[in-house]
Amino acid sequence: METLLLKNNIDDIKYAARLIRDGQVVGIPTETVYGLGADASNEEAVGKVFAAKGRPADNPLIVHLADFSDAERYTSMIPALAYRLAERFTPGPLTMVMPKNERIPMLTSGGLDTVGIRVPSHPVMHSIIEQSGCAIAAPSANRSGLPSPTSAEHVMRDMNGRIAAVVDGGQSEFGVESTVISFDGEDAVRILRPGAVTREMLLEVCGEVVIDPAILNEVGEGEKVASPGMKYKHYSPKADIIMVESQLGDFTSLVGDNYGDGVYALIFDGDEAGFPYRHLTYGADSSMQAHWLFQRLRELDDMGAEKVYVRAPSTDGVGLAVYNRLIRAAGFEVIRI
């Protein structure tokens, strides 16, 4: 199959929407990362998404809607707190897990009786949903295990020949996937995956916000998890990633002691003056680090990096999302000095 590269104009958007309505899979831009979109209610189409990604069947897909009010069509119960959160954070990078109804096939929900609902803010994605008239199931558009794509070019690289088309909507704004939450009682939520809607922001609306332990800790084999995605090694480039929590001086010495062919460092903007080893930078603050992380991981692969020492980000605010992706990319290998 030849994968078409479509542009950000109304004819191409209509064509992409038509492909989705016809049961095809299309790479679509969102404000977080690019997704692989298909009609959430069409099992055959959703099956193609799992096949194109090489995704395990027990890992559910997020369902994307044009407006939160449409959630009533696909869920059997919406907590009052969900409406309050939607008011504040949609459209935007927040996914809320709620009991699903029969319009969402078990294939889409990875065999669970819940569905993650998200209302993306990217204008191209919004029009594609509206024009298609479908709820769009979309995981991140990377091959399973690789870093998520933040540009149409990344999607093309991973998916060329495997899907019908990719719509180029520019570089993704946030750069990390949406915050995924579930409901833990009337006024409490649990963060299953951290994102740009931070714990601090959620606390403006909720009485309590629990951070699931699997966000920062490795899940043991056979252990039960609140979100299946947390079981899998993720976001990892070909290179071996090692996270280092230390001051710049100790970090520089560590890289020096282990330096050789194929060894690179991923450091903060501002660290590079006088840093004598091969490196890339990924931003000075958490928002920029979120924006650049996946792009940099792909660039390191292109440069032939075999081993990458990464300065560990802060876990405050959006930093928690960056830390969570990196620690998974590192297979939980962290050096603390």
Positions in the binding site for Mg ion (CB under 5 A): 140
CB of 51 to Mg ion, least distance (A): 16
Compare residues 156 and 180 and give the one whose CB is closer to ligand TXA: 180
The one segment of 78-86, 93-101, 206-214, 260-268 that binds ligand TXA by CB under 6 A: 93-101
Query: Can you tell me the distance from the alpha carbon of 29 to that of 36, in angstroms, rounded to the nearest whole number?
Result: 9
Structure-derived torsion over alpha carbons of residues 143, 145, 148, 154, reported in degrees to the nearest 10: -40
Q: What is the DSSP string of 185-248?
A: STTEEEEEE--SS-HHHHTTT-SEEEEPGGGTSPPPTT---SSGGGGS--S--SSEEEEEES-H
264 to 115, 149, 291: CA distances (angstroms): 40, 22, 20
Report residue 24 CA to chain centroid gap: 22
Query: Can you tell me the distance from the alpha carbon of 262 to that of 304, in angstroms, rounded to the nearest whole number?
Result: 7
**Sheet with 307-311, edge to edge strand ranges:** 279-281, 263-267, 307-311, 240-245, 334-336
Our finding on whether 318 is near ligand TXA (CB under 6 A) is no
CB of 35 to ligand TXA, least distance (A): 3
194 binds, among ligand TXA, Mg ion, none (CB under 5 to 8 A by kind): none
Q: Do 234 and 328 touch, CB atoms closer than 8 A?
A: yes
CB of 216 to ligand TXA, least distance (A): 15
Our finding on whether 62 is near ligand TXA (CB under 6 A) is yes
CB of 33 to Mg ion, least distance (A): 8
List the interface residues with ligand TXA, window 190-219 (CB under 6 A). 192-193
The one segment of 27-35, 204-212, 265-273, 329-337 that binds ligand TXA by CB under 6 A: 27-35
Compare residues 35 and 317 and give the one whose CB is closer to ligand TXA: 35
CB of 204 to ligand TXA, least distance (A): 21
Amino acid letter at 105? P
Using CB under 6 A, list all residues that contact ligand TXA: 30, 32-33, 35, 59-62, 93, 95, 97, 109, 112, 114-116, 118, 138-140, 177-178, 180, 192-193, 227-229
